[in-house]
A and B are shown apart, each in its own frame.
Chain A
Amino acid sequence: MSTRIEVAEKILSANDKLADTVRQKFDTAGVFAINIMASPGAGKTTFIIKLLETLRGRLRMGVIEGDLASSIDADKAAAAGLPAVQINTGGECHLDAVMVDGALQRLSLEDLDLVIIENVGNLVCPINFKIGSHMNLLIASIPEGDDKPYKYPGAYRGVDALVISKIDLLPYVPFNMDYFRKGVEILNPGLVTFPLSAKTGEGMEICADWLVNKFKNWKANL
């Protein structure tokens, strides 16, 4: 005869708890952490490196790069002068709090104001796994198409800011901005968005200024 035991626990509660600890480590160091999510090829690394250039002299930035394999992204970031740590997930489709907690030990937080955590390129899994960041930022690139909010609602619902990247390609690819924005507005009303091109630099300054303000407000209330 079996007995039923009420559990009523979130499946990922253990990860959630560790993410809280990771966030406290960032808080203690006075470092603002941003979790960047996007599909593969959306331009995450290019955006991060351009952001470093734009923020130079204003915020000290470091990066944690998540990929299934290789250290290509961390090498690129390091070549651009960013303190960079690579996490290889070995096949996992997302970063989790354990991986980021481990990566923190290889980064000198005391020398930084801002840590960008580049999640694995994927619009499905990363959103379910908290990693201790203060903010989630999604990058949607123009060539991906305007229907992505409708196809990947979870990714659009769980973020605090949206970068619309590669806008220099708008004249060349079919992309209905109104249809795209309508989907975004339904899933995440009032979401702050930054249309930009990391290649030409258009829109980067506005995004960087917003991040600097975000950081200052956060730091003032810490």
Chain B
Amino acid sequence: MHELAVTQSILSIALENARKVDAKQITGINLLIGQMASLVDDSIQFYWDILSEGTIALGAKLNIKRIPTQMRCFDCGHIFSPSPDTFDCPACDSIRVQVIQGDEMRVDSIDVE
């Protein structure tokens, strides 16, 4: 739902980093986005096409790498991906678990010419 604000931030980070190396064109943006980050790829692309117009980032390819949610069980140490309706540890049924990845929202790198 908040992809407009997120896409604006992605664009300004990309333009800022491209400016530092005097790039003529940004050809790709490589994003790392966790499954729990509540962002929709198509929606980011939609806003990107509008926002990047008139900038050197126009036409850049958005490569979104999704990072799956992972949890670790405090009791048995098992690392697992949670099922949609429960977070219990599938190995020992413990509920003492911790989210260890899946909420990332990062610009990893950009490709420039």
Q: Which residues of A contact B (CB under 8 A)?
A: 1-15, 92-94, 96, 122, 124-125, 128-129, 150, 153-154, 157, 182-183, 185-187, 189
State whether A7 and B110 are in contact (beta carbons under 8 Å apart), knowing that A2-B28, A12-B9 are contacts in the complex: yes
Residues of B within 8 A of A129 (CB): 2, 5
Whether the Cβ atoms of A125 and B36 lie closer than 8 Å is no
B contact residues vs A (CB 8 Å cutoff): 1-2, 4-6, 9-10, 12-14, 17-18, 21, 23, 27-28, 30-31, 36-38, 85-88, 95-99, 103, 105-113
7 new A-B contacts, CB < 8 A, other than A5-B112, A9-B106, are: A2-B111, A6-B108, A10-B105, A14-B13, A92-B4, A125-B1, A129-B2
Q: Is the CB of A92 within 8 A of B95?
A: no
Contact B109 A6 (CB under 8 A): yes
Complex interface: chain A residues within 8 A of B88 (CB) = 186
A154 touches B5 (CB 8 A): no
What is the interface of chain A mostly: helix, strand, loop, or mixed?
Answer: mixed
A3 to B23, CA, bound (A): 9
CB-CB under 8 A from A187, the residues of chain B are 87, 99
- Shortest Cβ gap from A90 to chain B (Å): 11
Are the C-beta atoms of A7 and B5 separated by less than 8 Å?
no
Q: Which residues of B contact A9 (CB under 8 A)?
A: 13, 17, 106-107
On whether the beta carbons of B87 and A183 are closer than 8 Å, the reply is: yes
Closest to A147 in B: B85
Q: Are B99 and A157 in contact (CB under 8 A)?
A: yes
Query: Are B5 and A3 touching (Cβ within 8 A)?
Result: no
Is A7 a contact partner of B112 (Cβ separation < 8 A)?
Answer: no
The B interface is mostly helix, strand or loop, or mixed, namely mixed
Task: Report yes or no: A150 in contact with B106, Cβ–Cβ below 8 A.
Answer: no
Instruction: Name the CB-closest residue of B to A11.
Output: B105
Q: Knowing A154-B36, A183-B87, A186-B95 touch, does A4 contact B5 (C-beta < 8 A)?
A: no
Report A-chain residues with C-beta under 8 Å of the C-beta of B4: 92
Indicate which residue in A7, A153, A182 contacts B13 across the interface (CB closer than 8 Å): A7
28 A-B pairs with C-beta separation under 8 A: A2-B27, A3-B21, A3-B113, A4-B110, A5-B18, A6-B109, A9-B106, A9-B107, A11-B10, A11-B13, A11-B31, A11-B105, A13-B13, A14-B12, A15-B5, A124-B2, A128-B2, A129-B2, A129-B5, A150-B86, A150-B87, A153-B87, A154-B36, A157-B99, A157-B103, A182-B95, A186-B95, A187-B99
Considering the chains assembled together, what is the distance between the CA atoms of A217 and B106 in angstroms? Answer: 35
For the complex, give the distance between the alpha carbons of A182 and B107 in Å.
34
Q: Given the complex, which residues of A lie within 8 Å of B36, measured CB to CB?
A: 153-154
Most buried by B among A9, A15, A189: A9
A177 to chain B, nearest CB (A): 15
Known: A11-B13, A14-B12, A15-B9. A185 touches B2 (CB 8 A): no
Minimum CB distance partner of A155 in chain B: B38
Could you say which of B2, B99, B103 contacts A125, with CB atoms under 8 Å apart? B2
Question: Which of A5, A15, A189 has a CB less than 8 Å from the CB of B96?
Answer: A189
Name the 5 nearest CB pairs between A and B, nearest first.
A125-B2, A2-B111, A11-B105, A93-B1, A186-B87
| A7–B109 CB distance below 8 A | yes
